[in-house]
Amino acid sequence: MLRAELMFGRTLRDRGLVSEAAFARFLAEEVTPRFPDGLTVIDSKGQWRNPATGGLLREPGKLLLIIFADDPAKRAALTAVAEAYKHRFRQQSVLIALQPACVSF
């Protein structure tokens, strides 16, 4: 199995934050259809350096955890989720981290 962590920043350019309702809609429309077996969302606080400006940005975020059997279609689905978030909320990036996981249910 694989454990995927996706880190979503919530700061919108000149428009506040991605709201809880907007993030819930994103989960329902983009994530759950691709990963219907389950997921976990954790509120987070993060920071990153903007490569274009060199400035440090601190912002609230969402950490999405998904465990799934490794297959190319699911890996592609992770990329599709990240691209959908960037497009919908005009974000520069979404971090995806993958690691092997030994799990039991």
Q: What residue spans define the domains of the chain?
A: 2-98
For range 10-19, the mean pLDDT = 90
d(CA 105, CA 72): 23
Q: pTM here?
A: 0.91
Tell me the per-residue pLDDT of 34-70, one tens digit each, with 9 for 90 and over.
Answer: 999 999 999 999 998 888 899 998 999 999 999 999 9
Q: When comparing pLDDT for 16 and 50, which is higher?
A: 16
For range 2-12, the mean pLDDT = 96
Query: CATH assignment of 2-98?
Result: 3.30.70.120
Q: Name the DSSP letter for residue 70.
A: -
| Cβ-contact 96, 78 below 8 angstroms | yes
Q: In b/e form, how buried is each residue of 1-34, taking b as 16+ CB within 10 angstroms?
A: ebebbbbbbbbeeeeeebeeeebeebbeebbeeb
d(CA 76, CA 73): 5
